[in-house]
Amino acid sequence: MSKLTLVATATFGLEAVVKREIEALGYPVLRSEDARILYTGDERALVRSNLWLRSADRVLLLMGEFTAKTFEELFQQTKALPWEEWIPMDGKFPVEGVSVKSTLHSVPDCQAIVKKAVVERLKETYGIQRFPETGANYAIKVSILKDRVSLTMDTSGPGLHKRGYRVRDVAAPIKETLAAAMVQLSFWKEGRLLVDPCCGSGTIPIEAAMIAKNIAPGLGRKFASEGWEAVPAHLWKEERKAAFAAMDYDKDVRIRAFDIDERAIKAAAINAREAGVDDCIEFRVLPVQRLHEVLESEGGAEPYSIMIANPPYGERIGEKKEIREIYKALTAFFSQEPTWSLYLVTSDKEFEKLFREKPADRRRKLYNGRLEICYYQYYGLKPPRKEQEEA
């Protein structure tokens, strides 16, 4: 096994969540930067990271870091790296890049220089002049920030948010990686009721159920590095087998998910079945305004429950008046249920003052794609100490 430096990329604001996930897998973190966490591992770590990281966007293999202010420096230092250890004779190696506040500001030129340097290195290794690039994909990324160059290869392929279970969709879905982070940043755990009043295609409840049942988020998909010769195929087989064995279907997982849109509920139910968690999630068509009424009619709103929500926001998916009605209904609900906790994400900067008189206990700036959002956290009354110990 080789000692590798891996990079887990993350949405801005989720670096701490991803760092905890990496440490939980047993890999030492080297440093945490904006939108990326560097850590050490081996080929098995590369495999396990792709299968298990819930809130990371991608897993990259760091090939090298150096300072470059001229194209010659970029070329020579790129060429000096051991690309042949990873890219075989028929490997496909497209190059994409980004440059911020750097002397080498032309991204197309930087990409061309890196491509040329890798080709020259591989020519010397394989003794050929042209590469067919018909094999596995070894996508190279050149990132330059303030003249500091980072060269990586993408081990994931499609982003890690593409779990494979979302076979039906609705407007403005939340990314699976963000939904998983929202659950992990909440106080919810097995044995406690979780409610999503605006579930859409079911991403939040599905991710919560997968966390509770310890289902690896990457089990239902393929990764770019599965075709890499330098990553032994038996590692993928062994780690997938271990992931299946790690599932725990005996957990007390109770999740109720509601939405006013019947099509969304149908889509959510199909997605939950695809993810293998439909046994612990109840989906129902219901407006937020009737949530408390329905819970009361069915035995009452269970104390110390958790609500995690991604209500509509923005003109594209809802009129402001309708959104304000949702806030009003949530305010009424929580005034009657002081033991409940609310975790809600929205881009609406007026939410906090419209929801309750007191400010949120915690707030965190995040991004859903390129849209800036805020994760508001309101903590309910704590259960008596004895109940806390038993919880």
Q: What order do you get walking across the sheet with 281-285 strand by strand?
A: 281-285, 255-259, 194-196, 306-309, 341-346, 371-378, 362-368
The contacts found for 323-326 with CB under 8 angstroms, 24 or more apart, are 323/348, 324/354, 325/288, 325/289, 326/198, 326/288
Q: What pLDDT was estimated at residue 388? A: 53
Q: What pLDDT was estimated at residue 325? A: 92
* pTM value > 0.85: yes
DSSP 56-89: -SEEEEEEEEEE-SSHHHHHHHHHTS-GGGT--T
Q: What pLDDT was estimated at residue 265? A: 96
Q: What pLDDT was estimated at residue 383? A: 83
Residue by residue, pLDDT tens for the chain (391 residues) are 789 999 999 999 999 999 999 999 999 999 999 999 999 999 999 999 999 999 999 999 999 999 999 999 999 999 999 999 999 999 999 999 999 999 999 999 999 999 999 999 999 999 999 999 999 999 999 999 999 999 999 999 999 999 999 988 777 689 999 999 999 999 999 899 999 999 999 999 999 999 999 999 999 999 999 999 999 999 999 999 999 999 998 999 999 999 999 999 999 999 999 999 999 999 999 999 999 999 999 988 899 999 999 998 765 555 788 889 999 999 999 999 999 999 999 999 989 999 987 899 999 999 888 889 999 999 999 888 765 555 4
Token match 């003109």: residue?
A: 315
Cβ contact 196:131 at 8 Å: no
DSSP 194-205: EEETT-TTTHHH
Q: Which of 129, 177, 137, 133 is nearest to 154 (CA)?
A: 137
Q: What pLDDT was estimated at residue 319? A: 72
Q: What pLDDT was estimated at residue 193? A: 96
Helix axes 233-246, 43-52, angle to 10 degrees: 40
Identify any residues that bridge with 346 across adjacent strands, giving them in sequence order: 374
Q: What pLDDT was estimated at residue 240? A: 98
- Tell me which DSSP letter residue 374 carries: E
Distance, first Cα to last Cα, the chain: 42
How many beta carbons lie within 10 A of that of residue 55, not counting itself? 30
